[in-house]
Amino acid sequence: MAEKTIALIVAAGKSERMASDLPKPYITLAGEPLIRHTIRLFQQHPQVDGVRVVIRREHHGYYRKAIEGMTLFPCVIGGQTRQESVRRGLESIAHRKPERVLVHDAARPIASPALISRVIEALDNQPAAIPALAVTDTVKRARNGLVGETVSREQLYMVQTPQGFHFDTLLEGHRRYSNENLTDDAALLEKLGRPVAIVKGEAGNLKITTEEDVQRMRTLLSLDSETRTAMGYDVHPLKAHDADTPMAQQHIKLCGVKIPFSYYLDGHSDADVALHALVDALLGTIGAGDIGMHFPPDDRKWQGADSERFLLYAYEMLTARGGELVHLDITLICERPKISAYREQMVAHIAQVLKLPQDRVSIKATTSEKLGFIGRGEGVAAQAVATVRLPRG
């Protein structure tokens, strides 16, 4: 089935006006690379079916690290100009036959979901749509450092991205005018004689070009968001497998990873104490109660359910509020089984499920020094701490 709308993020520029040692798409904003913020805008948008990023060949190492834990179409190497980079991106997704494509600058990391929706919806009636802001300041034309004349600002607009297009129309424009160096994709539609709709842009949809822009963006992100931390805890008893249970089915499940073991955790679902504790921690960050409120233990439809369903449910509640995960910390408390041999696999699994870099997931294990029911090997407990970032208000 073809994807209906694909976002093409352009990150193949040279960043010549930046003082940073890092290329612009990979500088840090609010603890994450700029490009990761930009990609997330489209990954989390319900009307976008896929994301393709166009990068510079020499930036591939930066890019791979920046997107760790994200699921994307493979990146494309850009060209010498922005126009060539976009054309290469379009050619790379032509086999997917999308109806629409959104072309967005990687350097605009805080466009709102509403802005993206406005552009997409405008494509129902026109072959292209661009967000723009009417010019409100006085505009003057200068010659040799002196004012030449005042220019009427009537009907003047400052254009932003994402720009939206019917895919086939934009690809036609790029193929027909491939030798021209135009500053934005809408200019190609103008040359084709096709109409381009203007939708309301956003003053906050800032483009990072200079070091001063970076500092301004960092200030905006810190003012517009808050960090929250919450903890979850769960415990389940250990029960011996029946004597006739095949060895291949004898395991315990922790952090979504099956560990061969002659005991299992007894519970209404699959009793993965680590994921249950993590669900409660995530729900706690948004004040949404606990796992039992959303998945009652007396509801038979959750009998034997995979706890990843609960985890994804809590994660989707968080992202629906505009939240993003910053860090997860899980401590398993048990005398047995031994966790150390499976820790890296657990980290990788949770990072993949929640689209996080692995260095943002911490898993530790300890014992209760032979004290209590855990010390007697009768159960396993887990506690989890989740740190998230949420929009204010």
Range of the domain at 341: 226-391
Angle at 185 between CA 170 and CA 6, to 5 degrees: 55
Same domain, 65 and 93: yes
**Can you name the residues that pair with 147 across neighbouring β-strands?**
142
Q: Are 101 and 89 in contact (CB under 8 A)?
A: no
Task: Report residue 389 as tokens.
Answer: 């970032």
Same domain, 169 and 242: no
The rounded distance, in Å, linking the Cα atoms of 42 and 103 is: 11
Can you give the CATH number for the domain in which 80 is found? 3.90.550.10
Residue 150 lies in a domain: yes
Is residue 298 exposed (0-12), middle (13-18) or buried (19+ Cβ within 10 Å)? exposed
The rounded distance, in Å, linking the Cα atoms of 137 and 133 is: 11
Task: Report residue 268 as tokens.
Answer: 């209404």
Residue 153 lies in a domain: yes
Same domain, 86 and 179: yes
Positive or negative torsion for Cα 169, 175, 180, 183? positive
Same domain, 353 and 205: no
Same domain, 101 and 170: yes
Same domain, 169 and 237: no
Q: What is the pLDDT of residue 393?
A: 60
Same domain, 181 and 251: no
Same domain, 296 and 365: yes
CB burial readout 222-243, b (16+ within 10 A) else e? eebbeebebebbbbbebeebee
- Domain end position, chosen among 141, 174, 209: 209
Q: What are the residue ranges in the chain where pLDDT is below 70?
A: 1-2, 15-20, 222-224, 248, 392-393
Can you give the CATH number for the domain in which 347 is found? 3.30.1330.50
Task: Concatenate the DSSP letters of all residues of 294-347 into one string.
Answer: HS-TT-GGGTT--HHHHHHHHHHHHHHTT-EEEEEEEEEE-SSS--GGGHHHHH
State the chain's mean pLDDT as an integer: 90
The rounded distance, in Å, linking the Cα atoms of 259 and 334 is: 14
Same domain, 198 and 233: no
Q: What is the pLDDT of residue 32?
A: 82
Same domain, 188 and 333: no
Q: What is the pLDDT of residue 45?
A: 92
- The DSSP call for residue 369 is T
Residue 214 lies in a domain: no
Q: What is the pLDDT of residue 241?
A: 80
pTM value is 0.64
